[in-house]
Amino acid sequence: MVDKYNNPAFIESDPISIPHQYELKEDIEIAGFLAATIAWGNRTMIIKNANKLMNLMGHSPYDFIMNHKESHLIRFEGFVHRTFNPIDLVYFIKALKHIYLHEGGLETVFAKSVTELSTQQAIHEFKQVFFSLPHPIRTIKHVSDPAKGSAAKKINMFLRWMIRDDDRGVDFGIWKSISPSQLSCPLDVHSGNVARKLGLLSRRINDSKALEELDCHLRQMDKNDPAKYDFALFGLGVFEKF
């Protein structure tokens, strides 16, 4: 089942199709991070709105992040995806610019705090850096925090995209400072339900403790690449109606 979905045919119907439009490392990172941020709800709408966002950034997200002027931010006034609105988006743009200017970029921030078998502390520390500028309180909810009990599905998915490198053509593997062995499988309602049916998860809530339990089982199956099972769990849930 991993092989069935871990191939380029999977890309078109998945939000990972957004960063696959780019070749520059920073473009891939930013497109991936923004696409993952709005990756909840209807998949068709996610991809549509992520493409709209890339169009608003002139299909050069890194150049836009680094060189935009305040007047350029007006174009985002009509952008909304569920509860993610222009106020949130404008702050995300400013925070990303700060990270690339002063923190060494997204990879550097995450790599600072990974542990031997986890990126969850790194996600927590990333959130602290991301919101180190004056920010709208409402925007905080759009970056999950494992330290507050979240499974952080969207960021774990983004990290999978950036870090896994198995030559299958789906994940990018452009971050070399973090190992695939440190990744967690993105946990959401689909992967969680399938994991419970397969006996990989007993906890009923999809939170950080459930992710830790799932991690333990998946690492027993493949300690070097536990996040690869995301393809099987998600595919069985979404496409196979398991």
Instruction: Assign 229 to helix, strand or coil.
Output: helix
pLDDT above 80 (res 2): no
Average pLDDT on 132-153 reads 98
Q: How far apart are CA 49 and CA 85, in angstroms?
A: 12
pLDDT-based confidence at residue 185 (cuts at 50, 70, 90): very high
Tokens 């950036």: give the residue. 162
Tokens of 79: 């952008």
Average pLDDT on 216-229 reads 97
In this structure, are residues 163 and 196 in contact, taking their beta carbons and an 8 Å threshold? no
Give the pLDDT of residue 6. Answer: 73
Give the pLDDT of residue 240. Answer: 58
pLDDT above 90 (res 3): no
Q: Which H, E and C letters describe 153-178, residue by residue?
A: HHHHHHHHHHHCCCCCCCCCCCCCCC
Q: What is the pTM of this model?
A: 0.95
Tokens of 111: 């790599």
Sign of CA dihedral 144, 146, 150, 155: positive
How far, in whole angstroms, is CA 48 from its chain's centroid?
Answer: 17
Give the pLDDT of residue 54. Answer: 98
pLDDT above 70 (res 228): yes
In this structure, are residues 240 and 231 in contact, taking their beta carbons and an 8 Å threshold? no
Tokens of 96: 């990303």
In this structure, are residues 182 and 118 in contact, taking their beta carbons and an 8 Å threshold? yes
Query: Higher-confidence residue: 9 or 239?
Result: 9
In this structure, are residues 67 and 99 in contact, taking their beta carbons and an 8 Å threshold? no
Average pLDDT on 226-232 reads 94
Span 93-121, pLDDT tens digits: 999 999 999 999 999 999 999 999 999 99
pLDDT above 90 (res 242): no
pLDDT-based confidence at residue 45 (cuts at 50, 70, 90): very high
Average pLDDT on 67-85 reads 97
How far, in whole angstroms, is CA 235 from its chain's centroid?
Answer: 17
